[in-house]
């Protein structure tokens, strides 16, 4: 049981099942219209506050660390648009199934547990992208004249970076949730992990505003590649830098996915040993 649920087998049937789960997750989240509208208004309000604070950093100057006022407003728009897409504030659904005992039934599904939850999360992310992300970007474009990619190729690279960021973010959150197999209450560890995510991903503050030594340290972690990488590509980076960013995102997507599989395999063996 542990082996069949921890290993990823990409066959036609598994791809079809993955798509069906993703589609149903998207349809389910689209039904929450009131919550979507409320969240959109809240995001726009706090976006205005964040933009005001960051623009104050200019202090009359034309730029700060290479970013002008338009870059800063574009950064705020992007982070507000993507915060739900990459789930900056965390996720505990898998953890809750462990504590409620539902994980036993989850492991009996005819698909990898990782792929099952990944499909659901992608459906949720796509819903957030369509209902919140695009709406916020459109409002900010017409109200604040934010930057937009200058070519179709840049748009494609931004979307590719976003897709990789979604996988990296999910794999990280999945690993954090697996702590529930070892701890009777892993929520404290999860809170700490997601606070670190908000700080190190570039959501709370642009990473380029951090000291150089801290930027170098964070570059060794997967966090910047969940949000900051998309921002750099969207606002504008050289071709060489874009290739470097995408290469690192692929590396972290593969690494965290593999690590999640290893930890899941050990976690399910532990669950069987304990009689779960």
Predicted confidence pLDDT, tens digits, the chain (276 residues): 444 454 555 576 777 777 788 888 878 877 877 877 888 888 888 888 888 888 887 776 767 777 888 899 999 999 999 998 999 888 888 999 888 888 888 888 777 889 999 999 999 999 999 888 999 999 989 888 899 988 899 999 999 999 999 999 999 999 999 999 998 888 888 899 999 999 999 998 899 889 999 999 999 999 999 999 999 999 987 889 999 999 999 999 999 999 999 999 998 876 654 444
Domain span at residue 42 reads: 2-273
In three-state form (DSSP H/G/I as H, E/B as E, the rest C), the secondary structure along the chain is: CHHHHHCCCCCHHHHHHHHHHHHHHHHHHHCCHHHHHHHHHHHHHHHHHHHHHHHHHHCCCCCECCECHHHHHHHHHHHHHHCCCCCCCCCCHHHHHHHHCCHHHHCCCCCCHHHHHHHHHHHHHHHHHHHHHHHHHHHHHHHHCCCCCCCHHHHHHHHHHHHHHHHHHHHHHHHHHHHHHCCCCCHHHHHHHHHHHHHHCCCCCCHHHCCHHHHHHHCCCCHHHHCHHHHHHHHCCCHHHHHHHHHHHHHHHHHHHHHHHHHHHHHHHHHHHCCC
Q: Count of domains in the chain?
A: 1
pTM of the entire predicted model? 0.87
């Amino acid at each position: 049981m542990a082996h069949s649920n921890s290993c990823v087998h990409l066959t036609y049937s598994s791809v079809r099942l993955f798509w069906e789960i993703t589609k149903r997750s998207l349809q389910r989240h689209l039904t929450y219209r009131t919550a979507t509208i409320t969240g959109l208004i809240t995001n726009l309000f706090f976006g205005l506050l964040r933009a005001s604070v960051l623009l104050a950093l200019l202090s009359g100057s034309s730029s700060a660390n290479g970013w002008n006022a338009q870059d800063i407003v574009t950064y705020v728009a992007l982070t507000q648009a993507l915060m739900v897409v990459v789930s900056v504030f965390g996720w505990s659904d898998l953890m809750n199934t462990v504590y409620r005992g539902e994980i036993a039934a989850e492991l009996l599904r005819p698909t990898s547990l990782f792929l099952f939850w990944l499909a659901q999360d992608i459906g949720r992310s796509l819903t957030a992208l369509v209902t919140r992300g695009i709406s916020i970007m459109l409002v900010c474009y017409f109200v604040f004249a934010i930057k937009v990619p200058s070519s179709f190729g840049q748009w494609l690279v931004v979307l590719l970076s976003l897709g990789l960021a979604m996988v990296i973010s999910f794999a990280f959150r999945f690993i954090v949730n697996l702590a529930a197999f070892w701890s009777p209450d892993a929520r404290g560890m999860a809170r700490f992990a997601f606070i670190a995510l908000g700080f190190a991903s570039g959501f709370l503050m642009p990473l380029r505003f951090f000291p150089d030594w801290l930027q170098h340290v964070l570059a060794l972690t997967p966090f910047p590649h969940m949000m900051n990488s998309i921002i750099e590509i969207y606002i504008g980076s050289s071709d060489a830098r874009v290739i470097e960013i995408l290469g690192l995102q692929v590396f972290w997507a593969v690494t965290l996915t593999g690590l999640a599989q290893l930890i899941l395999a050990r976690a399910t063996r532990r669950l069987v040993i304990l009689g779960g």
